[in-house]
Amino acid sequence: MAPPLVCVSDYEKEARRLLPLNAFGYYQSGALDEVTLKENKDAMNRWYIRPRLLRDMSQRSTSTTILGHKVSGPIGIAPTAMQRMASTDGECANARAAARFGTVFTMSTLSTSSIEEVAERAPSSLRFFQVYIYKDREVTAKLVQRAEAAGFSALVLTVDTPSLGIRREDERTKFTLPSHLKIANFLTNDMSSRMNTSAGGSGANEYVKSLFDPTLNWGDVDWLKRLTKLPIVLKGILTAEDALLGLEAGAAAIWVSNHGARQVDGVPPTIEALPEIVKAVDGRCEVYVDGGFSSGTHIFTALALGAQMVFLGRPLLWGLTCEGEEGAYNILNILQQELGSTMALSGCATVKDITRDMVIRKEFYSRL
């Protein structure tokens, strides 16, 4: 019998074995030379934890809040497109796993399940809706209205995608969405099936080029705010300057992200970008982070550096691929167990106890 899958990398290895080449390539790859993709992971190991000892650890909790909603841990699900390539129930299974676990599921605009379907199949889940702005603004406006009507609690505006990063693996495989799947949020055949074809390169790239609005600018945050009463989270911020502009624009939270290293290659890993943004924001709104997180120690480090929540993209896709809803749930659970263990062994009974002085850059030790 095959050994059980006990960590994120076990799930990734198994998913690589199970998925068709084009789906695995689409999920796994980063932009250009994938320098940032590698750095997102490597940078985590440049931080060491400074554990504090002999503190009563008998009563412990990982629970926290996000935009006023209680969650069982500081671990949320990032929006990733086209999850039905991983499992038959795709986004619905992922949202159900989030609900069972007690955390937030962020649904991509480019989902293979519709807004209403996810709301119906995972009614008790805390759901955020990720927004892309289409050249035809009516398309986005309608999606926002539907997300509000379906009980989503926040909008996550992705600000780093005026066009799609060049992902060589998708060019090699001429990636398209398999024909039995559709971009489910769109009712017209043209919009729902455009990802199923390509003119010879990456179908995802061609989709974004033809439909997304490349004029997107800070004024559009205001446009979105006027459309909705929901709080707006800005996802894809990597600098203090843009975090401050985001605050000015009225963001309820800043989500530090390099889109899983799929947009600009050569940008910093998010664990390194996080501190300057936390400093600039200075407690005026919540700060989240994603990119390369695959263990509880990574999550602990981000919390110490000032993140309120850590989001994960690919690990949930690996969970869905291997075991459907159960696999997504297991991924969340594994990370929570690892975070809980790291907290207990480092003297932190609650997430509030994870303070800035508990992590330090590796170089510090060589300078002593």
Could you list the active site residues?
259
Q: How many whole angstroms separate alpha carbon 113 and alpha carbon 136?
A: 22
Sign of CA dihedral 56, 60, 66, 69: negative
Residue placing its CB nearer to ligand FMN in the complex, 87 or 346: 87
* Residue 103, token pair as written in the block: 């955390």
Nearer to ligand FMN, 290 or 325 (CB): 290
Q: Pairing state of beta strands 359-361 and 309-312?
A: unpaired
- Residue 266 corresponds to which tokens in the numbers above? 């050569």
Cβ nearer to ligand FMN, comparing 47 with 346 = 47
Nearest CB to ligand FMN, comparing residues 96 and 235:
235
CB of 70 to ligand FMN, least distance (A): 23
Q: Which two tokens stand for residue 128?
A: 């955020």
Minimum CB separation of residue 186 from ligand FMN in Å reads 14
Q: Which is nearer to ligand FMN, 110 or 267 (CB)?
A: 110
Taking the complex as a whole, the smallest distance from the CB of residue 81 to ligand FMN amounts, in Å, to 4
Nearest to 308 by CA among 75, 43, 69: 75
Which residues lie closer than 8 Å to 149 by C-beta, 6 or more apart?
none
The C-alpha atoms of residue 55 and residue 349 are separated, in whole angstroms, by 8
Binding site for ligand FMN (CB under 6 A): 26-27, 40, 78-81, 108, 110, 130, 158, 235, 257, 259-260, 262, 290-293, 312-314
Integer Cα distance of 128 and 216 in angstroms:
21
The DSSP bridge partners found for residue 134 are: 212
CB 353 to ligand FMN: min, Å? 25
Whichever of 108 and 297 has its CB closer to ligand FMN, that residue is 108
Coil, strand or helix at 221: helix
Annotate 297-364 with DSSP letters as a single string: HHHHHHHHTT-SEEEESHHHHHHHHHHHHHHHHHHHHHHHHHHHHHHHHTT-SSGGG--GGGEEETHH
286-290 and 69-71: which strand pairing?
unpaired
Distance CA(126)–CA(154), nearest Å, equals 9
Chain residue whose CB lies nearest ligand FMN: 313
CB 299 to ligand FMN: min, Å: 11
CA–CA gap between residue 215 and residue 55 (Å, rounded)? 54
Q: Which is nearer to ligand FMN, 293 or 346 (CB)?
A: 293
Tell me how far apart the terminal alpha carbons of the chain are, to the nearest angstrom: 49
| CB neighbour class for 210 (10 Å; exposed up to 12, middle 13-18, buried from 19) | exposed
Question: In the complex, what is the shortest distance from the CB of residue 86 to ligand FMN, in angstroms, rounded to a whole number?
Answer: 9
